[in-house]
Amino acid sequence: MRYFLSFGFLFLSFLSPAQERFINDIFEAEAAETQTYAVKDGQELKLDIYRPKNDTARSRPLIVFMHGGGFSGGTRTNEGEVKFAQAAARKGYVAAQISYRLTRKGQSFGCDYEAEGKMETFQLAAEDFMDAVDFMLRYKKKYGIDPSKVIVGGSSAGAEAVLNAAYNRALMFEKPAKYKDLQFSGVFSLAGAIVDARYITAENAVPGIFFHGTEDNSVPYASAPHHFCDPAEPGYIMLDGSRTIASKLRDLNASYMLYSFEGGRHEHSGMPFQYFEEVFGFFNSVFLNNEKLQIEVLK
């Protein structure tokens, strides 16, 4: 294991001996509450809300997470995603796991599917994600949410939608101003990528956590064609993965934590339970308390 540190911070441990909100498990998690956040194309889009039980705080950070599945499958009730939401609730967060339109269900999303269609897929998923966040913030009083502390995340296809919504709004939305009030404190990406890292600027450089295998065979770790399609194939479209995004954030003097798994493939789109201490530590230090950290770990 190799650690690369900057800004003069030592990455020893985020934990303190005392039980601390957002770091330690100090609550039980309530049973999930299911709500419909939108109806699109005749389909009810739902989300499950997880809250800390018997918590008297009126203003808590929100985590909204989007599952993977190639825009054709997956569910908000995946075991890993549910355990993550419950873990967050036990630490004092409000967490929401969302469903969205699976526009490629039963269809290809590979090299035989045209690039224009892929862009539309990204755009529709990003729109659904933003509408889910907007729903949660419209009910911030009911759920005790601090709208200035919103953490967004996703796995694989879900991470692609979330990252594009965070960093590529000009490419995703015909009217980006519609979502101008939705600002994020941090991004948590598992094997994700965006359409174009050049659109990350000092104004939208949201701090991020990234987990990715260096030999991911589905979503590029750095910059490469989606599904590694040949330029002559209809589905050829370049994407910028975790390595490229993290490098851009580094150059912009923004905070990030990149876990790179040497030789790893797409299995690192799964929930990184063994690294939750580091993940929630970074959430607390950087996303919630605005500390400046740039951390890279090569495993």
Summarised one tens digit per residue, pLDDT across range 232-266 is 999 999 999 999 999 999 999 999 999 999 999 99
Q: Is 176 a residue whose pLDDT tops 60?
A: yes
> Residue 179 carries which side chain, given as an amino acid letter?
Y
| Euclidean distance between the first and the last CA atom of the chain, given in angstroms as a whole number | 5
Reported confidence tier of residue 4, pLDDT bands at 50, 70, 90: low
Is the model's pLDDT at 164 over the cut of 80? Answer: yes
224 contacts 241 by C-beta, under 8 angstroms: yes
pLDDT higher than threshold 90 for residue 5: no
Both structure tokens of 131: 């509408």
Per-residue confidence at 193, pLDDT binned at 50, 70, 90?
Answer: very high
Which of 76, 96, 94 minimizes the C-alpha distance to 141?
Answer: 94
- Structural domains in the chain, CATH included, are 2-298 (3.40.50.1820)
pLDDT in tens, 135-156: 999 999 999 999 999 999 999 9
pTM exceeding 0.85? yes
Q: Measured between alpha carbons, how far is 153 from 208 in angstroms, rounded to an integer?
A: 9
What's the average model confidence in pLDDT over 214-223? 96
Q: How far apart are CA 214 and CA 218, in angstroms?
A: 11
d(C-alpha 69, C-alpha 196), whole Å: 22
Q: What is the pLDDT of residues 8-18, one digit of tens each?
A: 344 444 444 56
pLDDT tens-digit series, residues 29-39: 999 999 999 99
Convert the pLDDT of each residue in 60-93 to its tens digit.
999 999 999 999 999 999 999 999 999 999 999 9
Residue 172 has pLDDT above 50, yes or no: yes
- Using CA atoms, how far apart are residues 122 and 126, in angstroms rounded to an integer? 6
**Residue 134: pLDDT band with limits 50, 70, 90:** very high
- Looking at residue 19, what is its pLDDT? 84
